[in-house]
Amino acid sequence: MPALSPRAPLACLLALTLLCAAAPALAQTPARGGVSALERIARSGVVHVGYIPTPGTFAFRDAAGGTVGYSIDVCQRVVQNLRKVLAQPALRVEFRPLEAAQRIPLLKAGSIDIECGGNTNTVGRQKDVDFSHTLFTTGVRFLARQSVLIDGVPSLWRRRIAVSNGTTAQETMARVQREQELQLVVVANDAEGVRLVEEGKVDAFAQDDVLLYALLAASPKKDSLHVTGRHLTVEPYAFMLPKDDAPLREVVDRTVLALMHSGELAALYRKWFDTDALRIPMSAHMRENIRYPNKYGIP
């Protein structure tokens, strides 16, 4: 019999804790449809995971066709614990790329069990879905041609700004639209927004800066583009979960908290955001979120 590693007792204790916590929760039923996502997953043997493709960062397909990224790594830890809780080691994961506007309707319909992309926790969205603890923080800035400089809201006067439909960047820009006489161009996804900037059809594309840096790195015209402007918002990213679905939420919460306390979440951050392609120092907000886990939503 091989010797146990020093971490083995801790791993066993975590699995036992998750199982004990989930057992009474399985008896509860959420408000939607009377069947919890955990029950649905147990019956089907599949976890349906939605994500918005964000190349190089949170969730995307690599050259081999696998779904990878910072959020996906965290989500895979959740799936590992679901296998233990449900005693289904063969539990499969099906990843589904989404447009931003699809996330909440598909969660409410039960078509996906969890959304593991980069989702801003807002008070408005909390009416329809639940959120995990904050996993990342960022804020809205702009991708533009090198000749376009944006420095604060006044510099947006009569600009033509692209935004992705269903994002908090769209909501942010809509709030300043009338004041600055902006012309908003709503696009289906981030790739389309970048294309409009590259072609000179808009002055800038507004989105969370971590996503903009990744999009910039992937652009064939990156030498003529830059990320500009001050942060207009502070965006706390978290997983989206079905509303009032305690069984699944408790497994997710315990998994994320364990990653924070062990230091693994910080290691995953370095893996994806401190690389040759991206150098994004961990912000003070992110460090505080790990030190003091929370689910605060922005207005």
Q: Kindly state the DSSP code that residue 153 receives in the 8-state scheme.
A: G
Full-model pTM: 0.81
Measure the CA angle with vertex 95, ends 278 and 296; round to 5°: 65
φ/ψ of residue 92, rounded to 5:
-100, 160
Say which residues have a Cβ less than 8 Å from residue 188's Cβ, sequence separation at least 6.
99, 164, 165
Instruction: Let me know: does 210 contact 168? Beta carbons within 8 Å.
Output: no
Q: What is the pLDDT along the chain (299 residues), one digit of tens a residue?
A: 444 444 444 444 444 444 444 444 444 445 445 689 999 999 999 999 999 999 899 999 999 999 999 999 999 999 999 999 999 999 999 999 999 999 999 999 999 999 998 899 999 999 999 999 999 999 999 999 999 999 889 999 999 999 999 999 999 999 999 899 999 999 999 999 999 999 999 999 999 999 999 999 999 999 999 999 989 999 999 999 999 999 999 999 999 999 999 999 999 999 999 998 888 888 888 999 999 999 999 98
CA dist., res. 121 & res. 236, Å (int): 6
**CA count, 13 A, side-chain hemisphere, 198:** 14
Can you say how many angstroms the Cα of residue 88 is from the centroid of all Cα atoms in its chain? 26
